[in-house]
Amino acid sequence: MRKGNKELIREINRTLVLNLIKNHAPISRIDLAGLSGLSAASITGITAKLIDCGLIFEKEEGDSRGGRKPILLALNPHGSFMVGLKLTEQYAIGALTDLQATVIANHRSRLKNRSIEAAIDTMVGVVKTLSDQGGMESEELLGVGLGLAGIVHGAQGILRHSPILGWRDVPLKNMLQDRVGAPVYVDNDVNTLTLTELWFGAGQGVDNFLTVTIGRGVGLGIVINGQLYQGAYGGAGEFGHTVIDPEGPPCACGKQGCLETYTSDPALMLMVSDAITRGEMEEGVETVADLLTRADEGDVAARKIYAKAGEMLGIGIANLITLFSPQLIIISGEGVRAGDWIFEPMRASIARHVMPGLAEDTKIRIDVWDDDAWARGAASLVLKKLFESPMHREMIEFSA
């Protein structure tokens, strides 16, 4: 790792200034010097380069303190763009965003088959379509972020294992980067969503928070001391595969009684099948959306299924609170559409199972779900590279 290197120092100062502009814009160069501790000359040089590369721009003048009014600086949302991709079993979902993670265009394409090659082809097509929709020149593409379910070694860009896709040890970063002609960053999809919360969502200004996602699976994003925690090899956060009951239903990962076997969408549908077999529910529930409709209409069995899922989710979250004592837990994902049918029993279960004295300090927030949130989150991988401290990046690369 480089120490005391002039290039590294320049990178650190550049990232410091860029983050100050992101957090305090519009801001003058004088105020930047005061907040950063850098000289006025250094600030002038750094901001000139940031303007040249389109990351920031000068906007209206600020209030005068006597003399000439200062020129204010802010992020240039349209100076560079990035593409976020979410890869599922059936689709490649993409979003073109600006520097503030505002979605400019969306596109999704169905995978021809479950092969790795077909997925790469489809994702390249989505990037091309989004670039065309945004009228974007190739040099304006800052990078591509890819989020998908599974254990991902982010520093190497390798998907180590995805039970949902059935892939192991796939060098997705290199495979995709060779085709799109821009830097590619890969991570677990829940981590990408957590980054969006950290940069632009409910996690702004919160040093310690967790993002829990429910839907096709159950995931966890972890922020500790303002940094995304991924574990030594990228495997941290496999919340859905924590064992709640070792005698419980079999899980796709090979164990029994994982949280996903009670709370995920496939688990809900298995409970529906069992309820129909027992004669407790009428046939006709083919999807989770059908199950929610039944619950809304007063179906006792449907509400019982959601109550069981909520109870088990509450046990899992109570364990998270006991382990991490976070300031905030954000619950997101497609599964939040179930609303209070799952969240009322979840809250009651948390109250029963959390260590006394801890729950009162943790706020739980349910995020309204947007289908494009996954892709928008993946775009934040590019923003992470842009705003992250070079020292932090070097430590990760060194350990990898």
d(CA 55, CA 77): 8
Distance, CA of 189 to CA of 27 (rounded, Å): 34
Architecture in CATH of 6-75: Orthogonal Bundle (1.10)
* pLDDT tens column, 196-225: 888 778 998 899 999 999 998 999 999 999
**Domain covering 205-366: architecture:** 2-Layer Sandwich (3.30)
Report residue 396's pLDDT band, with 50, 70 and 90 as the boundaries: very low
The whole-angstrom separation of Cα 265 and Cα 335 is 7
As given in the structure block, the two tokens for residue 292 are: 């929610």
On whether the CB atoms of residues 340 and 74 are closer than 8 A, the answer is no
| Beta strand extents in the chain (DSSP E only) | 27-28, 56-61, 71-75, 81-87, 91-97, 103-110, 141-148, 151-153, 158-162, 167-170, 184-188, 209-214, 218-224, 227-229, 328-332, 363-366
pLDDT value of residue 66: 57
Task: Give yes or no for residue 32 having a pLDDT over 80.
Answer: yes
The CATH H-level superfamily of 81-196+374-399 is ATPase, nucleotide binding domain (3.30.420.40)
CA atoms 122, 123, 124, 125: torsion sign: positive
* Residues classed as catalytic: 189
pLDDT in tens, 301-353: 999 999 999 999 999 999 999 999 999 999 999 999 999 999 999 999 999 99
CA distance 104 to 326: 33
* H or E, element range at 313: helix 300-324
298: burial class by Cβ within 10 Å (0-12, 13-18, 19+)?
A: exposed
- Alpha-carbon distance 253 to 163, whole Å? 6
For CATH 1.10.10.10, list the domain ranges present in the chain.
6-75
Entry pTM:
0.80
Q: Which of 58-67, 78-87, 132-141, 367-376 has the lowest mean pLDDT?
A: 58-67
DSSP string for residues in 181-216: SS-EEEEEHHHHHHHHHHHHSTTTT-SSEEEEEESS
Overall average pLDDT of the 140-146 stretch: 91
Provide CATH 3.30.420.40 ranges for the chain. 81-196+374-399, 205-366
Q: Which residues contact 156 (CB under 8 A, 6 or more apart)?
A: 171, 173, 400
Are the C-beta atoms of residues 84 and 192 closer than 8 Å to each other?
yes
Predicted pLDDT of residue 390: 65
Whether 377 shows a pLDDT value over 90: the answer reads: no
